[in-house]
Structure 1
Amino acid sequence: MWKSLSNIEPEPPRELAPLVDWFYSEDESRERFRWALRDGLDELLDGQRTGRWAYQHLSPTEKAHLGTVVEINLTKEFDLESGELLDWQIRGIELDCKYSQTLGNWEIPLEMYRCDDHGDRQGRSDFPALLTWLSDDSSEWAAGLITVTDKRLRWMTDKTTGAWRRVYNADRKRRLSDAAAKDIFWLWGGRQSDLPRNLLLHMSPEARARVFANARSGQARVNQLFREVQQQLIGRQTVLTVAQQDDAPKRARDARPHLRPDGMLVIGHELAHQRVARELGLPAPAKGEWISVRVVPVNEADTRKFTVLDGKRWAKARNDDPPTPAPLLPRTL
């Protein structure tokens, strides 16, 4: 029921259309949204101070707080106006932001929907909710909108009387019924497979153990990170978590002289560095990113992509190429 996360209809329901249009009209909204989710989890992990790199490392209290952090990050990222009754107001429409680590388990309070049985605690209307979810294990995320109604929330049959009754948790909150999954309009088409990747989580256990082996030296751990993870972009948060020290750029810069004898370059975001990355066929780092690669000198007969440094051609090393000290990276184009 919660696997496909695909929209039944290509267009949103009329009452949700203004909200969908607003999100789609924001500049780079999808990119900003996925990073707001990534940053929310990273803030709780607080890797620079704690060395933690997985959701499973969080305490139950911290896990429960992730929804609040996601809401705060989205509020800041999109400069959302606070609602009078709920979290936000977009184009005059009140809505709440809900996060769940498990698809379908968003908890809906009484004030979000009409129900005469709730008396004064019922909502003034059936309000929309923005439903958010992420999985660091699979690098997936999703965001959808639904108008909350009493009928779309969970019910069960009373074993004694056979009558239908509402299902609440201890806080009098309810979850969406499985049948309500079809009523969610998923932004950007449903399940997204590009949550910014948690590099440390997805490393092999053996490689990760080698990175963290030196408990006394943050610089040594960063050096080993660049050895273990080559030809992949490494972000600032990863470097901070491994170093457990301030100033990720300095840790990356200081890794260069340590790794140069092994033939390795640590390429940064500078324009001259980006040129080297592109010429070698590597992703070009943005600010706060680095990429490491082992290089060897090659002659004109070699068919590999190459860059010219210190007057020589350099190409990505093959496994059987012997180590050769790497050249210095240029400071300017």
Structure 2
Amino acid sequence: MLPFTEDIHAANSISNSELLNQDAELQEVYEYLRSCDPTGERFATVLRDTIDQLLNGEATGRYDWKTLFKTEKTHAGTLVEINLQREFKFNDGGDVADGRHPMDYRILGIDVDCKFSQDFGGWMIPPETMGYLCLLVWADDYRSKWSVGLFRVRQEWLNTGRNRDRKLTVKAEHRDKILWLHHKAELPKNVLLHLPESTRNQILLPGGRKGQQRVIELFRRVQNERIGRGAIRTAAQQLDYMARLREGKGRARTVLRKEGILIVGPYSRHQAIARQIGATVPHRGEFVSFRVAEAKAHHGTRPRVELDGRHWVLADAGDPKEVAPQLPKVTAESEV
């Protein structure tokens, strides 16, 4: 690590320490939220699911934020607020500013407002929240990054509101007053958005009754990469989109297994298989496909896993296609 990078981290650490020492409520809420989600996986999943909810690929076939209507983008903040409350079971906040503004959450008895922006620094803060805490949330589907932090609303740290609602924004030079719970962390990737156009066109075949074929192409062409439910919904464009994935005549797992491709899901037994063979491990709400080959002498010490009484390795371009083994059933297990 370069010396100036160390200086930046040290400065941030000092700034965070000062914010916590000066504000007991900020410290309480910060420590509580960190204990609820130490890695940030729960926050990241909510943000991924909310963006996918807005895109509504199942009904629209959309995968790109830019294709949303203006009203849908405006509604994003409300959905983030609602979905975070459902995930973390926050209580409703109280009415502040003489009852003119209902706060979104009450956490440990402390009122907290929630503000989301897809543009970093674009949080629109109501003047009625002056003196209260705000949970500032940012997610960018193009960069696959997200942040969430706590901010004590103070007049001297804000730009004057010039819009009709007189809403305020945090001055750029005072963004160091935001106490980050997670900052510029990895957002689960919108797979379809980040594919080369030629590959995406091979997956998103036009026409009706192509849902099953599109799902098969998705897992055939995007291997050893996490694929979320949103991408599967967009490819299938059917209410029973998960049925396109399961074992069965003409379905993705059965068809692709004949080509040597396995599709593992977010279940402990499947995750263990992916981990053992050296493939990408799916997280909550995700699936990963990869091609396997029966282990031979020329595979050397390559990581392997035993399935159906034989040992398998990740296949490379030189390995011929062969029928892959059945994955263990996980019908009684919920996602990890």
Q: TM-score, normalised by structure 2?
A: 0.81
Counterpart AA for 1:315: V
Q: How many residues align?
A: 304
* Residue 148, structure 1, aligned to residue 153, structure 2: yes
Q: 1:300 to 1:322 in 2, by over 3 A?
A: closer
Q: 1:42 to 1:331 in 2, by over 3 A?
A: closer
CA deviation after TM superposition for structure 1 residue 235, in Å: 2.5
User: Which of these residues, 200, 204, 207, is aligned with residue 215 of structure 1?
Assistant: 207
CA deviation after TM superposition for structure 1 residue 150, in Å: 2.1
User: Which of these residues, 151, 156, 162, is aligned with residue 168 of structure 1?
Assistant: 162
Contiguous gaps of at least 5 residues in structure 2: 1-7, 96-102, 331-336
* Residue 104, structure 1, aligned to residue 114, structure 2: no
Aligned to 2:3: none
CA deviation after TM superposition for structure 1 residue 324, in Å: 2.7
For residues 264 and 163 of structure 2, the distance between their equivalents in structure 1, rounded to whole angstroms, comes to: 52
CA deviation after TM superposition for structure 1 residue 21, in Å: 2.1
Aligned to 1:291: 288
Q: 1:102 to 1:7 in 2, by over 3 A?
A: farther
User: Which of these residues, 10, 35, 43, is aligned with residue 16 of structure 2?
Assistant: 10
User: Which of these residues, 77, 98, 102, is aligned with residue 87 of structure 2?
Assistant: 77
Aligned to 1:227: 220
Q: In the alignment, is the contact (CA less than 8 A) between 1:7 and 1:182 conserved in 2?
A: no
* Cα RMSD for the two superposed structures: 2.5
- Comparing 285-294 with 13-22, greater Cα deviation is found at 285-294
CA deviation after TM superposition for structure 1 residue 57, in Å: 1.6
CA offset digits 1:79-124 (Å, max 9, x no partner): 11222222222233222111112122211222122xxxxxxxxxxx
Counterpart AA for 2:156: K
- Comparing 293-302 with 139-148, greater Cα deviation is found at 293-302
For residues 29 and 287 of structure 1, the distance between their equivalents in structure 2, rounded to whole angstroms, comes to: 13
Q: 1:192 to 1:298 in 2, by over 3 A?
A: same
For residues 119 and 37 of structure 2, the distance between their equivalents in structure 1, rounded to whole angstroms, comes to: 29
User: Which of these residues, 31, 34, 43, is aligned with residue 24 of structure 1?
Assistant: 34
User: Which of these residues, 117, 129, 136, is aligned with residue 131 of structure 1?
Assistant: 136
* Residue 194, structure 1, aligned to residue 186, structure 2: yes
User: Which of these residues, 60, 71, 74, is aligned with residue 64 of structure 1?
Assistant: 74
Q: In the alignment, is the contact (CA less than 8 A) between 2:15 and 2:176 conserved in 1?
A: no
Aligned to 2:98: none
For residues 89 and 132 of structure 1, the distance between their equivalents in structure 2, rounded to whole angstroms, comes to: 17
CA offset digits 1:63-87 (Å, max 9, x no partner): 0111111111111112112222222
Aligned to 1:251: 244
CA offset digits 1:252-283 (Å, max 9, x no partner): 12212322332222234566544543332223
Q: In the alignment, is the contact (CA less than 8 A) between 1:83 and 1:95 conserved in 2?
A: yes
Q: TM-score, normalised by structure 1?
A: 0.82
Aligned to 1:93: 110
For residues 326 and 268 of structure 1, the distance between their equivalents in structure 2, rounded to whole angstroms, comes to: 16
CA offset digits 1:158-213 (Å, max 9, x no partner): xxxxxxxx44212221222223212222224xx23211221111222221111102
For residues 112 and 249 of structure 1, the distance between their equivalents in structure 2, rounded to whole angstroms, comes to: 43
User: Which of these residues, 304, 310, 314, is aligned with residue 312 of structure 2?
Assistant: 314
For residues 109 and 267 of structure 2, the distance between their equivalents in structure 1, rounded to whole angstroms, comes to: 44
CA deviation after TM superposition for structure 1 residue 309, in Å: 4.1
For residues 25 and 262 of structure 1, the distance between their equivalents in structure 2, rounded to whole angstroms, comes to: 44
Aligned to 1:323: 321
For residues 150 and 288 of structure 1, the distance between their equivalents in structure 2, rounded to whole angstroms, comes to: 41
Structure number, greater radius of gyration: 1
For residues 219 and 199 of structure 1, the distance between their equivalents in structure 2, rounded to whole angstroms, comes to: 18
- SS of the aligned residue for 1:9 comes to helix
For residues 145 and 50 of structure 2, the distance between their equivalents in structure 1, rounded to whole angstroms, comes to: 14
- Comparing 139-148 with 246-255, greater Cα deviation is found at 246-255
* Residue 185, structure 1, aligned to residue 190, structure 2: no
